[in-house]
Amino acid sequence: MDSLRKYLAEIIGTFVLVVFGCGTAIVTGCGTTGGMGAYALTALAFGLVIVAMAYSIGNISGCHINPAVSLAMFVNKKMSLQDMLLYWCSQVIGACGGALLLTIFFNPDESGFGTNGLFDNDVAKSFVIEGVLTFVFVLAILGVTSKVANSNIAGLVIGLTLTLVHILGIGFTGTSVNPARSVGPALFKGGEALENVWIFIVAPLIGAAFAAIIYRFLDPASVTSEKKAEKKEEKKEAA
């Protein structure tokens, strides 16, 4: 039952992220007619969603609502392979549900629909941009969540970091840093958005994996503490 609650929380969190993040991008005309004001509002919307969800479902599922974050947690041995895969499924379901709801209010053919796009029609540039943005975002998550003392401010820090990467990234690719967030809108938009969505799946996952590996090197003590915690848990279960 606890596992089911975690997966449901991830579905809800990713659903809300797409509805309010991509919905704001559509309303403001971000990437089309909205200008810099639309960029700022969209960046803020994505960040505020993370803050809201972190303090709503963070104690249930950890509020990953992003396959890249789940991958980083798996690489750092904070979740099992099975859990990661089920988180991924939950996140994609939530993102597709959010995009489906947006089709009720907006026509995907008449707007950018919050999808991501290539920078300068260049796959390599777009790939690097998304990888770097995700690396920074996930590194911040790993750092702020590595200490229990940060638990009260972790959601705020993560939300502000997501706002930061959006402020820079929206002008390049629309900022994904989240495969699920990209897949949902792309499925309903179709066309180039769907053709190029693989970039916004693979690049964030690679960026997140690098962030996890680098963080393990920068803070090996966090890995040691995790192993100690696992041993304590095993002893409790054995008792």
Is 39:159 a contact under the CB 8 Å cutoff? no
Can you tell me the distance from the alpha carbon of 201 to that of 16, in angstroms, rounded to the nearest whole number? 19
pLDDT at 228 over 70: no
The amino acid that residue 153 corresponds to is: I
pLDDT digits (tens, 9 = 90+) for 11-35: 999 999 999 999 999 999 886 676 7
Q: Is 127 contained in some domain?
A: yes
**139 in Cβ contact with 198 (< 8 Å):** no
Q: What is the DSSP letter of 122?
A: B
User: Which residue range is the domain that position 206 belongs to?
Assistant: 2-230
Q: Let me know if residue 235 belongs to a domain.
A: no
Residue 146's identity, in one-letter code, is S
What does the pLDDT read at residue 175? Answer: 96
Is pLDDT above 90 for 130?
yes
Evaluate whether residue 31 is within a structural domain: yes
Decide if 188 is inside a domain.
Answer: yes
Percentage with pLDDT > 90 across the chain: 82
Question: What is the pTM assigned to this prediction?
Answer: 0.91
Only one residue has tokens 């990209």, namely 182
Judged by DSSP in three states, 45 sits in helix
Q: pLDDT grade, residue 143 (50/70/90)?
A: very high
Distance CA 147, CA 19 (A): 31
Statement: residue 43 has pLDDT above 70 = yes
Instruction: Report how many domains make up the chain.
Output: 1
Residue 198 one-letter amino acid: W
The helix/strand/coil state of 117 is coil
- Do the domain assignments include residue 238? no
Domain-embedded: residue 40: yes
CATH number at residue 131: 1.20.1080.10
Q: Residue 33: inside a domain, yes or no?
A: yes
Is residue 154 a part of any domain in this protein?
A: yes
pLDDT over threshold 60, residue 236? no
Whether the CA torsion 159, 35, 193, 118 is positive or negative: it is negative
Q: What is the distance of C-alpha 35 from the center of its chain?
A: 24
